[in-house]
Structure 1
Amino acid sequence: MAHYAYDTSGRLRQEWDPRLNTPLKTTYTYDSSGRIATLTPPGELAWTFTYGTAGNAATAGPGMLLNASRPNLTQGSASTLDGTTATTTVVYDVPLSGAKAPNQMSSTDVDDWGQLDVPNDATAVFPPNPDTTSNDTPTSNTGSDLAASAYTRATITYTDASGREVNTASPSGHITTTGYDQFGNTVMQLTAGNRELALTSATSGDSYDELSLLHIAGDTTRVRAGLLSALSTYSSDGLRELDEAGPLHLATLASTLKAGSGGTDQPTGTIWPVRQHTVNTFDEGRPTDGTATIANQVTTVKTGAWAENYPSDTDLRTSTTAYDWVKGLPTKQITDPSGLAITKTTSYDSQGRAVKAVQPTSDGTDAGTTVATYYSGTGTGTCNGHPEWADMVCTIGPAATITGGGTNPTALPTKTFEYDRWGNPAKVSESANSVTRTTTTTYDTAGRPTTTAITGGVGTAVPDTTATYDTGSGVLASVTSNGQTVTHTYDQLGREIAYNDGSGNTTTTAYDALGRTAKTTDSAPSTTTYAYDATKDPRGLETSRTDSVAGTFAATYDADGGLATEALPGGYTLGVTRDETRAAISRIYTRDSDQTIVASDTADHSVDGRTVAEADSNGQTRSRSYTYDAAGRLARADDTAPDGSCTRRDYTFDKNTNRTALATATSDVGATCTSTGATTTSYTYDSADRLTTSGTIYDAFGRTTTQASGATIGYYANDLVRTQTSGTSRQTWSLDGAGRLAAWTTESNNSGTWTQTASRTNHYGSDGDSPDWIQEASTAITRNVQGIDGGLDAISAGDGGTVLQLTDIHGDTVVQLPLDSTQAVVSAAYDEYGNPEDDAAATRYGWLGSQERSSDTVTGATLMGVRLYDSTTGRFLSTDPIPGGSANAYEYCNGDPVNCYDLDGRMAVLALAGLAVEGVSAGAVVTALGWAVLAGIVALIFWYGVKWAIHKVQVLWKESKKSGKTKGNDVPDFAKGERRHPTETLDHAVDRVMKKGGFRPPYKKGPTSTYNRVRKYLSRN
């Protein structure tokens, strides 16, 4: 809901949500020509806009934006101005060629890399000066007035004659390329790094060697660029993307690449230059009698490896989607239809609402089927007589009781939803096995959650949680639970400057004029300073950070902005190499003094990006190879130890991706890997995918309370772990104000008496679940020091004792390297599911240590966000809080622990964002789309599938990159070609098409909203 205020000229002056007692108003002022002069967000300092005439006389006008500015604040202050202004400057009509051009971008120049959409205009954006000691603000807003060298820190956007962005040049001169067809579909994308590789003129060196390996060193730069681009082909009407081809790169063949007549086959296991090639088939089975309400739907996807001069693709993977063509909705998703035929089915009612979701092994009438009911405005009963909630979900639960579970509880929970006046879930009740857990959420008048209470259920009670919001800006100010309060403090530029975790740590953050982090401090105490040296990298990327205890980390980056090297304290350097698809293929740590390799990991990949072979050295060499089934699940791991013996692990899965068997065989030293003499461990499951190994016990909500080993687990009422007991050891966790597992004690049982042996507390610098430092004892702490790439690079005490954490490509900590040379170096290795190998010593951060996934538990289980993970079985010990986040409620990562991550125990919003928009940081996707949008998509994954969710994010991302004008006039891709049926009302047609695009009511209906554009389009068709 929004209110608007206008001035006497009819111009918008203010907008706000009237439901709040203290309105959060966004305010606008205008210049004499009616252009926006200032924009003031609630609780923040104003943006000021300056206009004028610049650029080519043919296109120049007085309404061109020249700069946008905002006052700077004194570092660390919430509101004190420092007397300077951060000004972003726009320069128009940047020369495309000649002496004053920052980049040579004429038609002849861009033809060198095969660019067909020729730039005809360019605009540069100069960021603010980073500090008062530098001033490279352009002296003119017209490009022809500036020298080529003036664009050092500018990002330049090149557009074609249709105004479409065809090139972006970063401040360091790295240029990306995008091509379009006549309908505006993107048909070519060339990264900056691949463009530079294609233009290589040298006949020796690393780039030439790479071109030679790709078999394109002898090709023209134009041909190379085409092969290194991502290409798409559309149908003649522009509505169907028929095929996609990724960049040429080296991949390991999983099957024979067949040659044509007179050619040479490439056998399985060969590393060969290929492109990932996807072919889409549309509308198979679509009726032609006029009953179909949708068209142009992808029904078969085949993805494989394309190689130049070979007649057909190899390593094909196939999936199909079936539709209810009348309702316009997908009903079946089948993976490997001619082989494994893993099928998930969704059914809908007459209104197109999902009412049944069937797992692959379910017959549609058992516990493997989930059913939903919806509220009705009439009638009697739980879901009837609620016109205010009509068509909203009432219940979600199993179709039947659990079978095959022995003496364990026989029911899965059924959830019942109740809503507030704004449609927010106010009360969610989960009932199973005569136990009910109720979550009640109260919202303020603006629909923001203020209190959450969980009552009933099984386990230790969880204190209520209360949230408050800043009355000036509306941002979250505090969260209180369990007698602890987490607070957020923001400055008047909307940046968080202080975070108090409620448990004894306050982290403060200071920023530079560009809004980049300049310094952080915490209560450990410690200080980290950050540097952005434009002489080393003009893109404004972080070039170094200095930790007050661990020392200095310094980085260099590749053409696409990825970390290339990181200099570490103590005289060590990490080097990272990526292939043409941006997949990491090597991660090597060397000692600077003599270039000795102290740890390394190299990887080979299949055409679809899965790791198929790796070799790592952490003082001794280990190699592994991996084989996957047609659904992408890990089927075999051949693990060659440093002594030359090979252990083969063969995995078998059912259609729900439950591991049904693990066969393990070890060869003699020096012998090839073998399956002979394998020892097989078999696993069985009930109809709810619960492991039924003898001794395994579950509670009413499907949480494992006793493992086959005899270890027992207790839980909080909200499913977080409370206790673990193994033999004579017990561990108990406590929650902080944010509901995190922030403190724990360990105890030992001696003759029936439990005695505390340790007490530790995590301290956080943000809302994440990775602690910045840990109180180990009354005077001892451990600090977790993040490197420039965001991973755990070092651990230190409060005043020294730094130990570097060297990690492999997967993110496992394989070497702990003390800077004190008198201390021993510790090496470790882990198998694909995280089990320690070679008698590796227990450590807090090992498998996935770079992400601070802790195995500091009495059983060795890993704390993965909201769930415990058991590496022995490759399963979580409680159900996924996001139904549909993986293949079933317990298994890890769809059966692929090598290439997939589930770091927080659920289908994380960030993981979805990163997965959906390749080559863009997950954070950028979140910023563009918003957490609420992504969370809403995640909530629907169970019904519509992960592929639907990925497609949905991709669609929204593309839409987010369009200008307001474009959005207002452009029809979304999913609606192109749609028509109203003769008997359809416009509202019904819009609703049908919106659902096809992955949207669900209620729809946002603003002027540039997707709903409005679809409605406008259908009203004309």
Structure 2
Amino acid sequence: MQLVYVGDPGAPGAPATATAFGNHADRLVEVKLWSTAPGAAVTDAVSAVRYAYDDKGRLREVWDPRITPALKTAYDYDPDGRVVQLGSPGELPWKFRYGTGGANSTVGNGDLVDRSSGRLLSVSRASLQPGTLDEVGPDTTSTVVYAVPTTRSAGGPYDLNPAALATWAQTRGPTDATAVFGPEDVPSVTTASATTPGKDGYRAATVHYLDASGREVNTASPAGADAPVAGFIDTSEHDRFGNVVRSLDATNRLLSLGLLPSAATDLAALNLTQADTATRAMALSSLSTYGPEGLDLLRSRGPLLRLAIGNDPNDVRLVHDLSTYVYDEGKPDGAAYHLTTTETEGVLIAGTVPEQLADVVVTKNVYDPIDGKPAREGTSGWVHKQPTQVIVDAGPGGANVTAKVRYDAQGRAVESRKAGSTGTDAGTTLTVYYSAAANAQFPECGGKPGIAGLACRTCSAGPATGQDAGRMATQLPVKTVSYNRYGSIASVTESAAGPVNGASVTQSRTTTTAYDDADRVVSVEIAGTGMSAPALGKTVSTYDPTNGDVVRMSTTKPDGSVSKVEKTFDRLGRMTRYADAAGGVTTSVFDRFGKPTKVSDSIGTTTSFTYDRSIEPRGFVTSVQDSVAGTLSAVYGPDGQLTSQSLPGGCAWTWGTTPTSRRSPARTSGPVTTSSSPRRRWWRTGPGSGSAPRRPHRPRTTPTTGSVD
């Protein structure tokens, strides 16, 4: 790569003027890529990026000169040099507004380099009239409100003062808070006061709380009118290196405070009823421990949950997910490599002293070379920071399932052995790389300096065994790969010899990819030799000249017929129409805020989406009206997890949530509730359900299933 600056020999372009963009003194004007075209003997340069500036030296345009017409990204500025508009090719631009925001933001109170024109106040973009591709509508604006109070008594949305933080065991609280309002809830101010937006005026906002070091320690998500005053707030605590050492999600925080509707049942199941809220919060938190340098994660413990040990429903206990890590075991010298050598995963039985683990899985990483060479030589995993052996189930009495890798001096995997492979059988894969020097064994891989280091040939180390030799090949296919000048794959050929109708036949399949000058895929073609099946048609991609999107993919079949897929995008970059190769057409309509509201197809079916923000201000779909199936509705929990779903025909699903926010299903039956507000409460466990849902807990390896009456 070559960076070309104004004044360098051969630098393109003319100086910028008051009316025309161009070059400016000492500015980067071009990026060139030096490479070798396939079949060429010399390396040459291709201009890949161009830059244009105004007469004040501000970047105004960026584009790839290999594409015609040019697809330019454009920037506009205010007098203080702040970006006020950003335009992508063929799309409506983004606009940025700055000004005074917060008590410490004073316009002009900067320094000699930046006089300060204030903070970012809003980001906006024009909308499109629903159902149109380019008919511009009102702007949609996201607004930032600074200096949000951290207590409700001071006009803030939530209490995050020391007394409140102590109830969920948070030791370091926020010093600053900033709210972001979406385009559907534009506030009247950008600096908060005790009365504006006011303690109940942030329900639709995401509020970010930062500590004195600028780290986000709490995040409050939008909450509906029926959500608890305590809010949907996530918590993070950090060590002195900035690592997150404790996290408490919104669901578990509310559970620890006893504010979930099922809190009494859930806390009793977790044996936390008698514990104070801070103790509950610690039990329901995820905790991480790092080494003294803050680099190595030593231990990770998940929140408390009920789990069937070994998937035995008769052995349900209170446990925490636990992972521990050991580093640099067997290292060749006194250096600190910070490489994981032993990872132990299991469940920690709550309250056991000393700690007792169940369902333990141990994985070991070995870094010594598998070819017996010294541990500090070029093929060593210690040198390349990659394991040479991974041993799964390495604990006492374990199966010690081992996979191995051999590296070359450049750290490339040249031999990969699957578990159980001898190194000379079909379970071992050998890879040869292109080189600048000649390769006597594989001439096609040598003498290619332009693509040296890329994979050339991949094959198995030996024959397959145990197969029906009369019908199946002994050797697995050999794969060879070629590249274009930019390192993109140009062709992949897979070839193998095996029995066909009693005779040995060599067959191959080649996938060829063609690119335009800008390295964009323009066609893909698959052809074979030694087989009776006809070649597959070539698939050609067509790009929109205004924005660079792929708008058509067409395939010419061997009989000459053409099938195609076409896509249409609007000026906000959204796909609004999709036509498949069989003639089916699907269209999508978005509201002015960018949410899909209707999807229809050419056979007459439609699906409409409703977003009831009085119930769910986070922008989630609250109901779906399907022209065939009927109406479905959904209710979400504090962390956005689906908690209940009403289905057509009077059926309903409800889910309980484990303390890890994993859903566990419960069976519900009976008609859907038809009260005046059947889904008003965010915590509802299910229409028609008069009791808390069952909470069957499952380990991570068990898929979650459910049933409907």
Name the TM tier (shorter chain). 0.7 to 0.9
Cα distance, 1:80–1:283 mapped onto 2, change above 3 Å: same
Partner of residue 714, structure 1: none
Which of 277, 280, 287 pairs up with 2:332?
287
Contact 1:128–1:513 under 8 Å retained in 2: no
Residue 327 of structure 1: how far off its partner (Å): 3.6
Q: 1:268 to 1:125 in 2, by over 3 A?
A: closer
| Residues 995-1019 of structure 1: per-residue CA shift (max 9 Å, x gap) | xxxxxxxxxxxxxxxxxxxxxxxxx
Q: Describe the superposition over 1:919-954 as per-residue Cα deviations: whole angstroms up to 9, x where unpaired.
A: xxxxxxxxxxxxxxxxxxxxxxxxxxxxxxxxxxxx
Aligned partner of residue 215 in structure 1, secondary structure? coil
**Structure 1 position 233 matched with structure 2 position 277:** no
- Equivalent in the alignment of 1:15: 62
Contact kept? 2:437, 2:446, Cα under 8 Å: yes
Q: For 1:469, which of 543, 548, 567 is the aligned residue? A: 543
Q: Give the counterpart of 1:511 among 566, 578, 590.
A: 590
The structure, 1 or 2, with the larger RCO (C-alpha pairs under 8 Å, 6+ apart) is 2
Could you tell me how far 1:62 is from its partner in structure 2?
3.2
Partner of residue 127, structure 1: 182
The corresponding residue for 1:210 is 266
Aligned 8 A contact 2:105 2:118 in 1: no
Q: What CA distance in whole angstroms lies between the structure 2 residues aligned with 1:487 and 1:587?
A: 43
**Is 2:522 the counterpart of 1:450?**
yes
**Cα distance in 2 for residues equivalent to 1:488 and 1:110:** 51
Which residue of the partner structure matches residue 299 of structure 1?
341
Give yes or no for the alignment of 1:402 onto 2:464: yes
Which residue number corresponds to residue 144 of structure 2? Answer: 90
SS at match of 2:280: helix
Q: Aligned-pair distance for 1:593?
A: 6.1
Q: What corresponds to 1:148 in structure 2? A: 199
- 1:117, distance to aligned residue in structure 2 (A): 2.6
Q: Which residue of 2 aligns with 1:194?
A: 252
Deviations 1:883-915 (A, max 9, x none): xxxxxxxxxxxxxxxxxxxxxxxxxxxxxxxxx
One-letter code of the match for 2:328?
A: D
Q: Matches of 2:489 and 2:61 in 1, distance apart?
A: 30
1:254 aligns with 310
**From 68, 74, 98, the counterpart of 2:123:** 68
Residues 394 and 275 of structure 1: CA distance in aligned 2, closer, same or farther (over 3 Å): same
| One-letter code aligned to 1:220 | D
Asked if residue 224 in structure 1 is aligned to residue 267 in structure 2, the reply is no
1:274 aligns to 2:315 (yes or no): no
Distance 1:328 1:456 in 2: 40
Per-residue deviation, 1:588: 2.4
> Which amino acid in the other structure matches residue 164 of structure 1?
R
Question: Deviation string for 1:731-787 (max 9, x for gaps)?
Answer: xxxxxxxxxxxxxxxxxxxxxxxxxxxxxxxxxxxxxxxxxxxxxxxxxxxxxxxxx
Deviation at 1:269, TM superposition (A): 4.0
- TM-score scaled to structure 2, two decimals? 0.80
Are residues 1:550 and 2:599 paired?
no
CA offsets, 1:113-135, max 9 Å, x none? Answer: 11123111111111112xxxxxx
User: In the aligned structure 2, how far is the partner of 1:512 from the partner of 1:58?
Assistant: 35
Aligned to 1:376: 435
Cα distance in 2 for partners of 1:497, 1:371 equals: 46
Instruction: Please say which structure displays the higher CA radius of gyration.
Output: 2
Shift of 1:584: 2.6
Q: Distance in 1 between matches of 2:581 and 2:259?
A: 58
Q: How do residues 881-960 of structure 1 correspond to structure 2 at under 5 angstroms?
A: none
Q: Given the alignment of the two structures, is residue 56 of structure 1 paired with residue 103 of structure 2, yes or no?
A: yes
What CA distance in whole angstroms lies between the structure 1 residues aligned with 2:192 and 2:633? 34
Of all paired residues, the percent bearing the same amino acid is 38
Contact persistence 2:96–2:120 (CA under 8 A): yes
Return the letter of the residue paired with 1:396: T
Confirm or deny that 1:346 pairs with 2:430: no
Letter in 1 for 2:68: N
For the Cα contact (< 8 Å) 2:576–2:589, is it kept in 1?
yes
Q: 1:364 aligns with which of 423, 427, 430?
A: 423
- Contact 1:604–1:611 under 8 Å retained in 2: no
Deviations 1:361-380 (Å, cap 9, x if unpaired)?
11011111000000111215
In structure 1, C-alpha distance between the alignment counterparts of 2:384 and 2:152, rounded to whole Å: 58
SS at match of 1:194: helix
CA contact (8 A) 2:63 2:71 kept: yes
| 1:97 and 1:106 in contact (8 A); partners too | yes
Deviations 1:960-991 (A, max 9, x none): xxxxxxxxxxxxxxxxxxxxxxxxxxxxxxxx
2:426/2:476 contact within 8 Å kept = yes
Q: Quick one: distance in 2 between partners of 1:460 and 1:577?
A: 54
| Residues 656 and 695, structure 2, Cα contact 8 Å, conserved in 1 | no
**1:317 to 2:368 alignment:** no
Aligned residue runs from structure 1 range 598-637, under 5 A: 604-605=696-697, 608-611=699-702
Amino acid at match of 1:223: T
- 3-state SS of paired residue (2:565): strand
List gaps (5 residues or longer) in structure 2: 1-47, 108-115, 224-230, 368-380, 498-505, 674-686
Change in CA separation of 1:59 and 1:188 when aligned onto 2, cut-off 3 Å = farther
The CA deviation at 1:98 is 3.3
SS in 2 for 1:254: helix
* Distance across 2 between alignment mates of 1:364 and 1:605: 42
**Cα distance in 2 for residues equivalent to 1:576 and 1:201:** 18
- Contact residue 286 and residue 302 of structure 2 kept, 8 A: yes
Counterpart of 1:296, as a letter, is: H
Question: What is the Cα deviation at residue 395 of structure 1?
Answer: 0.7
Structure 2 residue identity aligned to 1:239: L
CA contact (8 A) 1:253 1:270 kept: yes
Instruction: Specify the alignment match of 1:42 in structure 2.
Output: 89
Tell me how far 1:58 sits from its aligned partner: 6.4
Q: Please give the alpha-carbon distance, in whole angstroms, between the structure 2 residues aligned to 1:330 and 1:287.
A: 14
Letter in 2 for 1:342: V
- List per-residue Cα deviations over 1:24-58 (Å, max 9, x = no partner): 11100000111001000111001111110011236
Report how far residue 346 of structure 1 moved. 0.6
C-alpha displacement of 1:146: 2.1
| Counterpart-to-counterpart distance in 1, 2:516 and 2:427 | 38
Residue number among 150, 165, 185 corresponding to 2:243 in the alignment: 185
Unaligned runs of 5+ in 1: 130-135, 256-266, 613-808, 818-1021
Q: How does 1:622-701 map to 2 (within 5 A)?
A: none
Following superposition, the deviation at residue 108 of structure 1 comes to 1.8
Are the equivalent residues in 2 in contact too, given 1:452–1:465 (CA < 8 A)? yes
Q: CA RMSD in A?
A: 2.2
Q: Are 1:441 and 2:513 an aligned pair?
A: yes
State the 1:460 CA deviation: 5.5
Post-superposition CA distance 1:480-523 (Å, at most 9, x none): 12421111111111111111112121111111222111111111
**Do the aligned partners of residues 543 and 218 (structure 1) sit closer, same or farther apart at CA in structure 2, a change above 3 Å counting?**
same
- What amino acid does structure 1 have at the position aligned with 2:453? D
- The answer to whether the 8 A contact 2:141-2:183 is kept is yes
Please show how residues 418-817 of structure 1 align to structure 2 within 5 Å. Answer: 418-433=482-497, 434-456=506-528, 458=531, 459=533, 461-481=535-555, 482=557, 483-592=562-671, 604-605=696-697, 608-611=699-702, 809-810=704-705
Could you tell me how far apart the structure 2 residues matched to 1:513 and 1:587 are?
38
Q: State the Cα distance separating 1:586 from its structure 2 match.
A: 1.5
CA distance in 1: counterparts of 2:105 and 2:700, whole angstroms: 49
Q: Alignment length, in residue pairs?
A: 591
2:8 equivalent in structure 1? none
Q: 1:165: which partner in 2?
A: 216
CA shift at 1:539, angstroms? 1.1
* Distance in 2 of aligned mates of 1:438 and 1:277: 47
C-alpha distance in structure 1 between counterparts of 2:49 and 2:285, whole Å? 45
Q: In the aligned structure 2, how far is the partner of 1:101 from the partner of 1:122?
A: 9
